[in-house]
Amino acid sequence: MRVPLLEVILHTDGSVTRILRRFFERVEIRPLETKKVHVRGREAELLGLPDGDVAYLRRVVIELDGRPGILATSYARPDNLPGRMRRLVLQSRKPLGAMIEELELETRREIVRVGTTRLSGEERRLLETEAREVPWREYVVYHNRTPMLLIREKFSAEVFRRD
């Protein structure tokens, strides 16, 4: 089944938060965790870092009108985060796109993958869904022509359906 709003969001290289606020009255971030991690493999490659280098991991649930709609996992490359952005990533409940706009950073987004993925039991609980597979996407945000953020978003299709 095609879900038009979700299709737009999956393929946009603009601010998802701005689009969501046009369709939902409340868009709220519920932080799950923020910590330093050592990235390896695909994460390190997409961030342009050597295997084992440090990045910031941020996991949040984006609630849409009180329902969990998106599970977002972000990896931030510390050496390409302007000072205030570094503090915001670690401490703020703001969406990353809103931080970028607020700081007036020049960025470019590149969508790397779009498709469907299986959810773990924890992810199904966080998204409050019985679905085993959901739409997802992965994209890189560049600042100063260097990867700044790697973001993976998993979507609860039920929240995006408009009857």
Q: Give exposure, 8-31, as e/b (b: 16+ Cβ within 10 Å).
A: ebbeeeebbbebbeeebeebebee
| Distance separating alpha carbons of residues 61 and 73, to the nearest angstrom | 9
Query: How many domains does the chain divide into?
Result: 1
Residue 162 pLDDT class (50, 70, 90 cuts): low
Q: What is the mean pLDDT of the chain?
A: 90
pLDDT surpassing 90 at residue 70:
yes
Q: Residue range 136-153: average pLDDT?
A: 94
Q: pLDDT > 70: what percent of the chain?
A: 97
pLDDT of residue 163: 47
The DSSP code sequence of 42-74 is HHHHHHT--TT-EEEEEEEEEEETTEEEEEEEE
CATH number of the CATH domain containing 92: 3.40.1410.10
Domain limits at 11? 4-160
Q: Tokens for 144? A: 């100063």
Cα R_g (the chain), whole angstroms? 15
pLDDT of residue 2: 53
pLDDT, tens digit (0-9, with 9 covering 90-100), for 4-55: 888 888 888 777 888 898 999 999 999 999 999 999 999 999 999 999 999 9
Residue 1 pLDDT class (50, 70, 90 cuts): very low
